[in-house]
Structure 1
Amino acid sequence: MKKGWQQIPMGQLCSISSGDSDTQDAVEDGAYAFFDRSRTVKKSSRFLYDCEALIIPGEGKEFLPRHFVGKFDLHQRAYALFDFTIQIDPRFLYFYLHHFSHYLPSVAVGATVKSLRRRHFEQLPVAVTTLAEQQRIVGVLDEAFAGLATAQAHAEKNLQNARALFESHLQSVFTQRGNGWAEKRLEEIGKTQTGSTPKSSDPECYGDFIPFVKPADFNKDGSLDCENDGLSKKGLDGARKVAAGSVLMVCIGATIGKCGYCDCDVTTNQQINALTPSAGVSHKFIYYQMLTESFQRSVMHSSAQATLPIINKSKWSALAVALPPKLEEQKQIVAKFDALATETQRLARHYQQKQAALAALKKSLLHQAFTGEL
C-alpha cells in the first residue's frame, strides 16, 4: 500500500443496515426508488431512507454497489451504507467496492444462493487516503467513466440502428411484396418432416457419420453448430436425414420459432421441424421469411399452449409463406438480407469487443486509483 494510505474496516466508516421491505411492496406507480436483490430498480409507495447511500444486494452472485441520493425503499435482503464519516467520500467508497469486487463473493455464505451478513460488510478492509486525495481520485474517475459510458452508448446505438434497419427491411419486403407473389403452404413447396432421436441406450447409433442437431445448436445468424453431436451410419438408418439446403425451426418449448438453415446434410431430434424446398425455391429466402414477426405470430397462434407451446408437423406444414415467381428474384432478396445481416453481425462483434475493452480499461483505472498510481 502506498505511503499515507491505511486500511480501515468499513464498519468504522459508515452505518450499515438491511431493509425491511419485501417483494410485494413493489408497485408500478410508486413515488420512491425500491432497491432489492436484482439489477432492476423498482418503485415503492414508501421510503425507509432519505440520504446519500451505497446500496448492495445481500444475495446473488455479484455484490456491486449502486450510488443513490434521496428517498428510497430497501428490500430485507439488500444493504444500505450511509451516514459516512468525515474519513470517507461516498463516491470514493463506491469506486473502491467496484475495485475490490472479489471480496464480498469470497466471504458470502450458502451452498446454492450466496448471501451476506452484516459482519461481512463491517469487516471489509477499505484502503483509505486523505479526503482531499479521495476527492481528486473521484473527480478523475467520474470524468473517465463518463467518457467510457459515452463511447459504450455510441457503439450500442450503432448496433441498434443496424438491427432496426435489418428488421425494417425484413418487414417491408414480406409485407409490401412484388408483382406475381403467391402464398403457398410449406407442404406445397417442399418436403416437411420432424426429427427423431435414435435409442440413447445403443452407443453404436452415435458417431461422426452425420451431424445430429438440437435446439441449442442454432446460432444467432441462422447457421447450425454441427460439431457437437453426431450419428453413426447405423444411427442414421433409424433417423430422418435433412438434406443440405433445408430450413429448420424449433417446434416446442421456450425457444419455439427459432430458425436456422443447413448447408450440409444433417439429422435432428424431435424438437425440430424441417423444410427441404423443391427446385425453384430458395431455402434462405424461406429462412428470412420465417424470421418475420407475422410468421412468428402464426407459429405461436398454431401452437397448443396447455403447458409448453408446441406446433406439430401437420400444423407447421400448413403455415403459409409468400413467394416471387422466379428463383432469381428470391436470390436477389436473399443477397440484400445477407449483406444487412453481415453488417449487423460486424457491428455486434465490434460492440462486444468495445464492451470488453471498456471493461478492461475500467479495471485498469480502478487498479491505478487504489494503488496510488492515478
Structure 2
Amino acid sequence: MGWETAKLGDVCELIKRGVAPKYIDEGGICVINQKCIRDHAINLDLSRRHNDNAKQVNPERYIRTGDVLVNSTGTGTLGRVAQIRSEPKEPTTVDTHVTIVRPKPGLFHQIFFGYMLIQIEDEITSSGAGTSGQTELSRTVLETKFDVAYPRSITEQRRIVAILDEAFAAIDAAIANTQRNLQNARELFESHLNTIFSQKGDGWVEKRLGDLIDIKHGFAFKSDFFSESGDFVLLTPGNFYEHGGYRDRGKKQKFYVGEIPDGFILTRGDFLIAMTEQAPGLLGSSIIAPENERFLHNQRLGLAQSKPGTVWCNEFFFHQFNTQIFREAVSREASGVKVRHTSPKKLQAIQVAFPATEAEQKHVADQLNQLKKQTELLELNYQRKLDALHELKQSILQKAFSGQLTTQETAA
C-alpha cells in the first residue's frame, strides 16, 4: 500500500489554540483545559464554564468529532494529546493552553488521525520552548516541525485502526489491573499503619505534641541567590512526598548560593514538617534529613526539636505523621482556602499517642520500616510492569506507522 509523508500543518485545516475564558459557575459553554487531557483521554469533570455572552467564541474553535487536542504550555503537561472520538454533548471549546488540531477532510479515517498524533506525542512533548515551568508549544512548531506518515488508502487506515483498537484494549486492561494491584499494595500498608496508631498498644501514653517538641520556623532565603546548582539544597514542601520522605526534584531542584545564617544548615537525622500545602496531601508530611551539611531549613518548614527529658524516636513519629488521624488533625486547624497553612502552635496542640520508652518506639518503627520496604518492592515491580506496557504501546504504534503492523504481530 502507498504511504505519504507530510508536515502536520500540510494535512490539517486548523491548528489553533482556544479562547481566553470569562469564567462563570453555571451556564455558558464548556471549556476544556490542560487538566482535562491525560492518558489520551478527556475528563470533562475537570472542565470549566465560559460566559459566551461576555465573549463570543469563533465557530471554528468549537471542538468537533475527530479533532485532536494538544496541551501546549507548561512543564509536565505540554505535549499530552487526546482525540474527540464522539460528538460533544454540548457546545465545547478549549482555553488558550490547549491547541485544536483538525485534519483536512477526506485524508484520514478519523481514529487513524488520532493514533497518528499519539505516535508523535513524545516528539511534541520535547519541543516546547521557554524557561522552566513556562514552556510553550507554538502553532508554527506544530505546523512545520513534525513529519507524519499515513497510507493513502482509507481502507488501509481502517485496517490499522482495527488492529490498534484491539491491541490497545488488551493493553489498557492489563494496565488497569496493574494499577489496581499497585493501589492495593499501598492501601494495605496504610491500613496496617493506621491500625497500629488507632488501636495503640499496652503502655502507650498520650500527650500534646508541644509537650514533646519545640518547632522552629525556617529562614526566608532571598530569591536573588536561588540557583539551578550549588552545594546547598533549598528544601521546600515540594521536596516532601505526600506519604512522607525526601523527594529529589531533579531538574526542578532549587539550590542556594548566598550567605547562610547560623542555625539553618540541617544535620543528618533532623526532622522536618511541611507547614504549607504546596500540593494536595503535603500538609503535615515529614522528612528526616538524609545528609549532613547539604540541606537548608527554609521557610514554610518546621524543624522538630525534642525537649529535654522527652522520649522521641524520629522514625516512630515519622510514621505517626503519615497516619490518617494525624493528617486530619493538622487539616482541621489549618487556615487558607486555595493554599492551606499550619503553624508551630497549631501543630503543638495536636494530641499524639506513643510508647513510653524509646526501645518500644524503635521496635514499632522497625516493624513498619520492614513492611514499608516490602510494600515498596511490590510497588517497584508493578511500576516496572506499567512501564513495560506503555513501551509495548509505543512499539506497536511505531510498527503501525512504518507499515509493518499485522494482526499476528500484535497478538504475539
TM-score, length of structure 2 as denominator length: 0.67
Q: In the alignment, residue 69 of structure 1 is paired with which amino acid?
A: S
* TM-fit CA distance, 1:184: 1.3
The one of 98, 101, 121 aligned to 2:118: 98
Distance 1:228 1:107 in 2: 24
Which structure: larger Rg?
1
In the alignment, structure 1 residue 332 sits paired with structure 2 residue 363: yes
* TM-fit CA distance, 1:166: 2.0
Partner of 2:178: 155
SS of the equivalent of 2:380 reads helix
Q: In the alignment, residue 272 of structure 2 is paired with which amino acid?
A: L
In the alignment, structure 1 residue 79 sits paired with structure 2 residue 100: yes
Q: In the alignment, residue 2 of structure 2 is paired with which amino acid?
A: G
* TM-fit CA distance, 1:185: 2.0
Task: Using the TM superposition, name which of 59-68 and 154-163 deviates more.
Answer: 59-68
Question: Would the aligned equivalents of 2:116 and 2:401 in 1 still touch at CA under 8 Å?
Answer: yes
Q: In the alignment, residue 299 of structure 1 is paired with which amino acid?
A: V
Unaligned residue ranges in structure 1 (runs of 5+): none
Distance 1:352 1:193 in 2: 38
Question: Would the aligned equivalents of 1:36 and 1:57 in 2 still touch at CA under 8 Å?
Answer: no
SS of the equivalent of 1:248 reads strand
The one of 318, 343, 366 aligned to 2:349: 318
What is the correspondence of 1:353-368 to structure 2 with a 5 Å cutoff? 353-368=384-399
Partner of 2:372: 341
Unaligned residue ranges in structure 2 (runs of 5+): 51-58, 406-412
Distance 2:304 2:380 in 1: 30
Q: In the alignment, residue 68 of structure 1 is paired with which amino acid?
A: R
What is the correspondence of 1:1-374 to structure 2 with a 5 Å cutoff? 4-7=2-5, 23=21, 35=32, 38-39=36-37, 40-42=42-44, 52-57=65-70, 59-60=72-73, 61-62=78-79, 64-72=81-89, 73-75=91-93, 77=95, 79=100, 81=102, 84-85=105-106, 88-101=108-121, 113-116=136-139, 120=143, 126-190=149-213, 192-196=215-219, 214-215=235-236, 216-218=238-240, 222-224=244-246, 238-239=262-263, 245-252=269-276, 254=278, 255-262=282-289, 268-277=297-306, 280-305=311-336, 309-374=340-405
1:294-344 CA distance string (max 9 Å, x none)? 322333344453896444434433332111234444333223322332233
Question: Would the aligned equivalents of 2:65 and 2:84 in 1 still touch at CA under 8 Å?
Answer: yes
Question: Would the aligned equivalents of 2:128 and 2:136 in 1 still touch at CA under 8 Å?
Answer: no
Distance 1:183 1:195 in 2: 28
SS of the equivalent of 1:343 reads helix
SS of the equivalent of 1:358 reads helix
Partner of 2:53: none
* TM-fit CA distance, 1:290: 1.1
Question: Would the aligned equivalents of 1:19 and 1:74 in 2 still touch at CA under 8 Å?
Answer: no
Question: Would the aligned equivalents of 2:71 and 2:81 in 1 still touch at CA under 8 Å?
Answer: no
1:8–1:286 Cα change, 3 Å: closer
TM-score, length of structure 1 as denominator length: 0.73
SS of the equivalent of 1:65 reads strand
Q: In the alignment, residue 296 of structure 1 is paired with which amino acid?
A: R
Distance 2:72 2:269 in 1: 49
* TM-fit CA distance, 1:8: 6.4
Question: Would the aligned equivalents of 2:185 and 2:375 in 1 still touch at CA under 8 Å?
Answer: yes
Distance 2:167 2:214 in 1: 58
1:135-166 CA distance string (max 9 Å, x none)? 33222222222222122212211111112112
Distance 1:192 1:323 in 2: 19
1:2-55 CA distance string (max 9 Å, x none)? x6223467789787597988856897899x98655541432789xx98974233
Distance 1:246 1:217 in 2: 15
1:270–1:105 Cα change, 3 Å: closer
* TM-fit CA distance, 1:249: 0.4
1:69–1:13 Cα change, 3 Å: farther
1:134–1:259 Cα change, 3 Å: same
Aligned length: 359
Question: Would the aligned equivalents of 2:243 and 2:322 in 1 still touch at CA under 8 Å?
Answer: no
Question: Would the aligned equivalents of 2:16 and 2:139 in 1 still touch at CA under 8 Å?
Answer: no
1:50–1:314 Cα change, 3 Å: closer
For the aligned residue pairs, the C-alpha RMSD in angstroms reads 4.8
Distance 1:29 1:154 in 2: 38
SS of the equivalent of 1:182 reads strand
* TM-fit CA distance, 1:288: 1.1
Distance 1:306 1:155 in 2: 35
Question: Would the aligned equivalents of 1:276 and 1:283 in 2 still touch at CA under 8 Å?
Answer: no
1:214–1:108 Cα change, 3 Å: closer
* TM-fit CA distance, 1:130: 2.6
